[in-house]
Structure 1
């Protein structure tokens, strides 16, 4: 995919295209796990809250 994208860039701009591609790759590689962790944390907190409410009603 990266090769196809860089083939669309004119030869004199290959270095800039490669730099932009690598930057986007690094940023998305950092955002993905952070977003996943945030979603899983919110889901587990919601589960714990629901569990605590259920336990209070049973007592």
Structure 2
């Protein structure tokens, strides 16, 4: 899970933005979410590639 630090069994509390102009914590949250989505995309692409290779090898 993206919101859970490694090794802890608890999810982090949602970060609160104290002011609408708190751009530093907002952009940090966006960077974390972006990294998380990129990682999921890479995992899904790798899984699709493995599935395709498995399918091709089973047809031979």
TM bin, normalised by shorter chain, reads 0.5 to 0.7
Structure 1: 5+ residue runs without aligned partners?
Answer: 1-15
For structure 2, the residue ranges without an aligned partner over 5 or more in a row are 1-18
How many residue pairs match? The answer is 41
Structure with larger Rg: 1
TM-score relative to the length of structure 1: 0.63
Which has a greater percent of helix? 1
* Root-mean-square deviation over aligned CA pairs: 0.9
The TM-score normalised by the length of structure 2 is 0.63
